[in-house]
Chains A and B, each alone.
Chain A
C-alpha cells in the first residue's frame, strides 16, 4: 500500500514536471541569452575578455595569467554547439591574441 502510494506520488510528480516543461517550452526553445543563468564558461569568458581595454596597463605576469585562462577555456568552448563554438572561438582568438601581442611588446621593451 505504502509502496503504491509512493509510486503514485512520484508518477504525479513526473507528470507535473513534464507538463510544466511543455507549458514553458523547455530550455531549448526559450531565448538562450535571457531566460537562463549564464553558464560557467560564459562567466569566465566575460571576465577574461572584459579586461582587453586595459591590456596595456597589465604587468607581464598578469598578461601571462590571462593567456593561460584563455587556453584553459578553449576546450570548454570546443564542446559547445556549432553556432556558439564558431562565435566564441573567434572571439576568444581575438582576445587571447591581444594579450599575447601586448605581452610580446612588453618583452621587446625590456630588450
Chain B
C-alpha cells in the first residue's frame, strides 16, 4: 500500500515537474545599458530605501576588475558581499571611493551612506538606491559609448579594443586598498579542445585576463583544478554561471558570441 502510494506520488511530481522545467527556451536579452546590472537588496528595503542598482559599464571603464573584486573585496554575486551602510560610511566597499573626498576625472565622487543622512540627502541616496525610480544619472550610456568600437551582444562595446585605442584607461591601483604589487609574471596562453567536431578550439589568453583580473580573482575560487585539463566543465556549466560563466554570462561578453572564445582556425 505504501509502495503504491509512493509510486503514484512520484509519478505525479515528475509530471508536474516536467511541465515547469524551463530549458530549451531563449532567455531575455538585456539591453546594452542593462547588461551587467546588479540589484542589491540585502538591507535596503528593510531600511525603507529602494534596492541598489549597480551598473557595471560605468565602473569598468575606470577600474580593472581586480581593484573592486580583489582589493576592495566585492563578491562576484549579487548580495553575497553583505555591504552595509556602516561599512560604506567607514570607507570600505562602496565607501572606498564614494566618500565625498576622492577626486576622479576632476569631479569629487559623491559620498555613499554617510553617518548622518537626512531628508536633504534623498537625491544623493537615490543615485544608488534607484530600483523602480526614474533617476537621471550623471553619466548617459549613449553619450559615453558613442566613441567606442562596437561589438555584438553584452554592452555592445568592444572593451578590449577601447583600451587598445586609449579610450579607457582602467586603473589597477586604488590608494589605501591595493597592495603595491610588482609587475605581473604573465602565464602563457593555451588552447582548449572543444568537444564537438567542427567547432573551433578555444584560445584562452591568460595575458588578456590577468591584465584586468590578476590571479586571485579566478584562482582558486573559480578555477580549482591545478593542472590544465583537470577542471572539467561544459557549456552547460558555463551557462549556469560556473567556470568561465562567472563573468561571461553577466558582465564580460556573453556566451552567444561564440567566435570570441572559439577562435582557433579549424583545420580542413
Contacts and interface: CB of A to CB of B under 8 A. Distances in A.
Chains A and B touch (C-beta atoms under 8 A apart) = yes
Interface of A: 31-34, 45-47, 49-57, 82-84, 86-88, 90-91, 94-95, 97-98, 100-102, 104-105, 108
A101 B220 CA distance: 6
- Tell me the dominant secondary structure on chain B's binding face: loop
B182 A51 contact: yes
B82 interface: yes
A105 B223 CA distance: 12
Given A56-B185, A105-B227, 15 more contacts: A32-B91, A33-B91, A51-B182, A52-B214, A53-B182, A84-B92, A86-B73, A86-B87, A87-B72, A91-B73, A94-B216, A94-B221, A101-B219, A104-B226, A105-B226
B182 A50 contact: yes
A91 B215 CA distance: 13
Contacts of B184: 53-54
B219 A98 contact: yes
Contacts of B183: 53
Interface of B: 70-73, 75, 82, 84, 86-87, 90-93, 101, 176, 179-185, 187, 214-217, 219-221, 224, 226-227
A57 B215 CA distance: 13
A24 to B, nearest CB: 17
Contacts of A83: 84, 86-87, 90, 92
Which 4 pairs between the two chains have the least Cβ-Cβ distance? A50-B179, A105-B226, A101-B220, A33-B176
A90 B220 contact: no
A88 to B, nearest CB: 8
Contact of B90 (A32, A94, A98): A32
Nearest to B178: A50
Contacts of B182: 50-51, 53-54
A100 B73 contact: no
A108 B230 CA distance: 11
A49 B180 CA distance: 9
A57 B220 contact: no
Contacts of A91: 70-71, 73
A47 B181 CA distance: 9
A102 B181 CA distance: 17
B248 to A, nearest CB: 20
B215 A98 contact: yes
5 contacts: A52-B216, A53-B183, A53-B185, A97-B221, A105-B226
